Amino acid sequence: MRYDLIIRNGHCILPWGEAKTDIGVISGRIASLNVPGHAEAAETIDATGLHVLPGLIDAHVHLRDPGKPEIESIPTGTKAAALGGVTTVFDMPNTNPSITSAEMLRWKQEYVSANSWIDFGFYVGATRENTTELGTLEQMEGVCAVKVFAGSSTGDLMIEDDAGIEAVMRHGHRRVAFHSEDEYRLQERRKQFHTGQPHDMHRIWRDEECAFLGTRRIMAIARKTRRPAHILHTSTAEELKYLQGFRDIATVEVLVNHLTQVAPDCYETLGALAVMNPPIRDRRHFDAAWQAVADGTIDVVSSDHAPHSLEAKAKPWPECPAGLTGVQTIVPVMLNHVNAGRLSLGRLVDLMSSGPARVYGLQAKGRIAAGYDADFTLVDMKARRTITNDWIVTPAGWTPFDGTDIQGWPVATIVRGNIVMRDDTITGTPIGQLACFTP
Ligand SMILES: [Zn+2]
């Protein structure tokens, strides 16, 4: 038997535990988990001292393409992902124009197939105009889910009322992803604040009840319609506790920032570079998020990579746009948490590979097993580095983690047997394909 690629001597995180074994790849798929020593391959990677993880997925990014390629684009964003050890991204629909029609989905399918460095799924945005078509749109190739902005969006992408959300839930059958902050409460509370107040006001304005109320409303509609829902960027202790009562219909995402940064410190040191939605909150919520990592409440950890220019971020609060870069830094930051003893490497794989695959119905990814796509993230758990702005390839050019010391670093990104990144260098051509989902 001749292989296209063999990864030898790595500590592999298999679904049933960690094992030191040699993995063989043929035609982009995992062909063997126990390659004999004499087997030959076109390419062999010696992974001595490294851990071999199933390809890590960032299930929540905003690549600004089409619309703002000078901030981020699909080519630059997927390069950033590959440099950071991510093999697949799921991209949000609030671009300009937005991705809300069959026509735009077809455009994105073609564009992604020619320009992405890694595999790619994308959301279709729900609008009042396309609600009755969502059952068809969610079946199109590459679509990971319908995304509903129940709060905090602009233009036609917002559906903030119960009747509108229920109508979405009654068209189609796949899991629907929600930005769940309650728009009415956000607007009402906005009047209490004025331009130029400290950035820490962001979490006071968009308080716990904005998030919790939105999530309670969506869970009521999910129960009523028996449609599964995914609560994106869950940010409060209250929601995490509450969602435990909905495990039959709800899955849960938490962002790496909510597991890493704490208010008010983050606003004092980073100002607008800590402003995101839902906001980074105080230690009580940080502790609850880690408790929810430990007890299994959380299904997915993502970055919500949403770059803005430093110029835009320099505007006074709350005119500075909300959103941070993160797709290139999520894996190092999470590996550092593993080294700090906050979670195991197995739980990290659950949150960033098998978890996203389970939640979105992603086919043939999310585990190292025979026949699955040969997607791997190779990591050096001993490597020590410092995250710096000059490492960031997103054109916006900054990270809130600039200057952060990290132990644990991705050293290779392999997508269907193609080595896309090795030792900080992107190689080959944009071989990314559309991810496949259970209909
Ligand atoms: Zn987002």
| Interval 288-334: pLDDT, tens | 999 999 999 999 999 999 999 999 999 999 999 999 999 999 999 99
CA 336 to centroid of ligand 1, rounded, Å: 23
Beta strand 425-426 with 418-422: parallel, antiparallel or unpaired? antiparallel
Q: In the numeric block, which tokens belong to residue 201?
A: 């006001």
Distance 20 CA to ligand 1 centre (A): 37
Q: How far is CA 7 from the centre of its chain?
A: 26
Counting every residue written for the chain, the total comes to 439
The first and second tokens of residue 185, run together, are 């409460």
pLDDT per residue over 186-228, tens digit each?
999 999 999 999 999 999 999 999 999 999 999 999 999 999 9
Residue 377 Cα to ligand 1 middle (Å): 24
Nearest to 424 by CA among 75, 55, 82, 54: 82
Instruction: State the chain's mean pLDDT as an integer.
Output: 97
Spell out which residues have Cβ within 5 A of ligand 1, the ion: 304
pLDDT confidence tier of residue 155, bands split at 50, 70 and 90: confident
**Cis previous bond, 66, omega within 30:** yes
| pLDDT at residue 153 tops 80 | no
Distance from Cα 287 to the centre of ligand 1, integer Å: 22
Distance 126 CA to ligand 1 centre (A): 14
pTM above 0.75, yes or no: yes
For residue 57, report the distance from its CA to the centre of ligand 1, in Å.
15
CA distances from 366 to 57, 142, 226, 356, 363 (A): 8, 16, 26, 7, 8
Nearest to 305 by CA among 224, 373, 394: 394
pLDDT at 152: 80
Contacts of 86 (CB under 8 A, 6+ apart): 55, 56, 57, 58, 118, 327, 330, 331, 377, 413
What mean pLDDT comes out for the span 406-431? 98
From 108, 5, 11, 17, select the one nearest 63 (Cα to Cα).
Answer: 108
How far apart, in whole angstroms, are the C-alpha atoms of residue 371 and residue 286? 38
Query: Cα of 306 to ligand 1 centre, how many Å?
Result: 7
User: Would you state the pLDDT for residue 154?
Assistant: 72
**What is the tens place of the pLDDT at every residue in 88-141?**
999 999 999 999 999 999 999 999 999 999 999 999 999 999 999 999 999 999
Q: Ligand 1 centroid vs 405 CA: distance in angstroms?
A: 26
- 93 Cα: distance to centroid of ligand 1 (angstroms): 9
Among 288, 281, 330, which Cα is nearest to 305's? Answer: 330
Structural domains for the chain: 2-52+374-383+405-425 (2.30.40.10), 56-360 (3.20.20.140)
Distance CA 364, CA 286 (A): 33
Q: Compute, in angstroms, the gap from residue 380 CA to the centroid of ligand 1.
A: 29
Look up tokens 């997103």; give the residue.
394
Rounded to the nearest angstrom, the distance between the alpha carbon of 233 and the centre of ligand 1 is 8
Q: Where are the alpha helices (DSSP H) in 73-200?
A: 74-83, 102-115, 134-137, 162-169, 183-190
DSSP classification of residue 33: S
If phi > 0 it is left, if psi is from -120 to 50 it is alpha, else beta; for residue 81 that is alpha
